[in-house]
Amino acid sequence: MQILKILFKNAFRHKLRTGLTVLSITIALLAFGLLRTVINAWYSGVEASSAYRLVTRNAVSIMFPLPYSYKDRIRQVDGVSEVSWGNWFGGIYIDEKNFFANFAVDARTYFDLYREYAIPDDERTAFFRDRKGFVAGRKLAERFGWKIGDTVVLKGTIYPGNWEFVMRGIYRGREPNADETVFMFHWDYLNESLKKTAPRRADQVGFYMVGIEDPGRAISIAEAIDALFKNSFAETITETEKAFTLGFVAMSDTIITAIQLVSFVVIVIILAVVANTVAMSVRERTNEYAVFKTLGFGGWRIVGLILGESVVITTMGCAVGIAATYPAAALFGKAMGAYFPVFNVEPDTIVLDIVFSLAVGVLAAVIPVYRTLKMKIADGLRMIE
Amino acid sequence: MDAGTIVSIQKLCKSYHRGNQVIPVLSDISFDIAEGEFLALMGPSGSGKSTLLNLIAGIDQPDSGSIVIGDVDVTTLAETELAKWRALNVGFIFQFYNLIPVLTAFENVELPLLLTPLSRSERKAHVEMALRVVGLADRMDHYPSQLSGGQEQRVAIARAIVTDPTILVADEPTGDLDRNSAEEIMDLMDRLNEESKKTIIMVTHDPRAAKKAHVIRHLDKGILTNADPQDTL
């Protein structure tokens, strides 16, 4: 049984109180799960980065471009297998609230380097053939209801004017953490347009993406690339894609730390709530625990009764909280898709949910257990409900 | 300890502390209880009779003196050993029944058996037997709130006897009952003593309940006022 039966019966003796406590745990774990998922989403780009790619940018800042001519010299560095390039376009679709990442890329080399993006052959060919064509990630296309052949106009912020594109393909991520919200069009289209409208800005590249044959040589290859342009008017910094992405994430370090702190504060608050519930329950039943001790229930059994009841309550809250996290994360991810392209509840978040709810269950019972064990039976028996 | 003696109390002293003040509760108590005896402890409130009962039952510790039950001096046992000893040797009957409200009569009676190695079916047989003895076999699925005070006390008695303990201790077992129920409970305890030869030590204020006992001992201000065998009724 029977001990387990007693635990459940005790846990539900005050249904409203237990129900509210379970609800509190559920909400707390839901909040914790979503906050952890936000943090994971922040790092999803880092997780998705490949060890086989380096990124070369201007040593001063990513805001400063590099000459287009660098591509041939980078390609000649020993260990480099492929070079692609691109520019952050920063276009706005209808309204600023419709934010999504949009890049001008060298299409052929880009898709050779980014094999985690799958695009049907016919769509790829159509994209390559159309100078004004673009491809979008599956989620982005779904978000705006774009279909192949649709014309989309982006208002340039960095490159002024209204830029017209025709949708030629939809790519999908081969991995769950691949970003399916990016808009990509031909760098040639941007560059040729600039040659006509702003010749001084033409033939400039925001960053190079460099494919390497051996990740173990990443550092030496990066050093070799940067050495090529030492003392030039546009020196470079080359780093692994992971380090490059982490550099962006690091800009939000304070926010992430704050979110992490809040997620742990939530757990501490819920610890106080559960501790209060358990303390009240045990105090109300001091007489019963005295009876248990009188009947011969030893210390460990008393610990088991109190601890078990506490863990039963937190486990129920945990189960409901975890179950609620998935649909809540799906809704959250849909609403915030522009900012969090990958918003998946990771297994480690669920593990943390379970670990913390068990820890809360145990910690909440510590003081009531201590008091009950220290209680003299004769004193406990004198306490009448 | 004499042959036939089940409980031997020697020079028992107990006091409580309130701040720096020492309040003596029991002073130099010595007496024996024979096996199968039905003993009533009487005395005014604060005389120390419940404290004496608690000491005999091993739920409190004296300042000095010894309490030998069977062949075990319970004053020398550590907390864990004492808990095991109580589970096997003492059946408790309380004034306010002290049943667990979320458990049925069956489950309440089964509680002490959870500490034994008995199988589920063996426990069931023991519980049903105990409930039959107290006349509540048909109420085993009832919760305490669905029983009268007398029935609750009978369930408590079933819980006390289900492990077949060496002694039964009862603290004001009729104190919370009406007259008819009290008589039923005392008849039941008398029957347990007569038929099952259970040694019963009972604290009571009720002279009618005390009449069922073979021996009545009076306590006053922590002193046994009639410890001689001639006090046997």
Q: What is the CATH number of the domain that holds B116?
A: 3.40.50.300
Indicate the residue of A1, A9, A287 with minimum beta-carbon distance to B98. A287
Is the Cβ–Cβ distance between A3 and A303 less than 8 Å? no
Alpha carbon distance A84, A105 (integer Å): 8
Same domain? For A218 and A305 the reply is no
Question: Which amino acid does the sequence have at A55?
Answer: V
Tell me the per-residue pLDDT of A208-219, one tens digit each, with 9 for 90 and over.
999 999 999 999
Same domain? For A216 and A282 the reply is no
Indicate if the pLDDT at residue B94 is higher than 70.
yes
In three-state secondary structure terms, B91 is: strand
Is the Cβ–Cβ distance between B136 and B117 less than 8 Å? no
Same domain? For A191 and A261 the reply is no
Whether A307 is in a domain gets the answer: yes
Tell me the per-residue pLDDT of B34-52, one tens digit each, with 9 for 90 and over.
999 999 999 998 899 999 9
Whether A145 is in a domain gets the answer: yes
Indicate if the pLDDT at residue A161 is higher than 80.
yes
Alpha carbon distance A271, A257 (integer Å): 21
Same domain? For A12 and A65 the reply is no
Q: Where are the beta strands (DSSP E) in chain A?
A: 53-58, 66-67, 80-88, 102-105, 117-118, 133-137, 151-156, 161-173, 183-186, 204-205, 207-212, 236-240
B80 touches chain A (CB under 8 A): yes
Q: Tell me how close the Cα of A298 comes to any Cα of chain B, in angstroms.
A: 6
Whether B133 is in a domain gets the answer: yes
Q: Where a domain ends, among A175, A207, A234?
A: A234
Question: Which amino acid does the sequence have at B211?
Answer: K
Counting one residue from chain A and one from chain B, the pairs whose CB atoms sit within 8 A come to: 65
Indicate if the pLDDT at residue B227 is higher than 60.
no
Q: Report the relative pairing of strands A117-118 and A161-173 from DSSP bridges.
A: antiparallel
How many domains, in total, are found in chain B?
A: 1
A18-38 residues labelled b (16+ CB within 10 A) or e (exposed): beebbebbbbbbbbbbbbbbb
Indicate the residue of A13, A299, A376 with minimum beta-carbon distance to B80. A299
Quickly count helices (H) and strands (E) in chain B: 7, 10
Q: What is the DSSP string of A249-308?
A: HHTTHHHHHHHHHHHHHHHHHHHHHHHHHHHHHHHHTHHHHHHHHHTT--HHHHHHHHHH
Q: Using the beta-carbon criterion (under 8 Å), do A295 and B80 form an inter-chain contact?
A: no
In three-state secondary structure terms, A132 is: coil
Indicate if the pLDDT at residue A383 is higher than 80.
no
Same domain? For A199 and A275 the reply is no
Q: Pick from A287, A298, A375: which is nearest to B95 by CA?
A: A287
Alpha carbon distance B93, B203 (integer Å): 10
Domain carrying residue A296 = 3-44+253-382
In three-state secondary structure terms, A49 is: coil
Whether B83 is in a domain gets the answer: no
Whole-structure pTM value:
0.74
Q: Answer positive or negative: Cα dihedral of A28, A30, A35, A39.
A: positive
Tokens at A178, concatenated: 């691949």
Indicate the residue of B96, B100, B159 with minimum beta-carbon distance to A384. B96
Is the Cβ–Cβ distance between A161 and A106 less than 8 Å? no
Smallest CA–CA distance from B81 into chain A, residue: A298
Residue B230's pLDDT is 40
Same domain? For A314 and A378 the reply is yes
Q: Tell me how close the Cα of A319 comes to any Cα of chain B, in angstroms.
A: 25
Residue A191's pLDDT is 95
B94 touches chain A (CB under 8 A): yes
Domain carrying residue B48 = 36-60+88-231
Alpha carbon distance A127, A121 (integer Å): 10
Q: How confident is the model at residue A251 (pLDDT cuts 50, 70, 90)?
A: confident
Same domain? For A202 and A124 the reply is yes
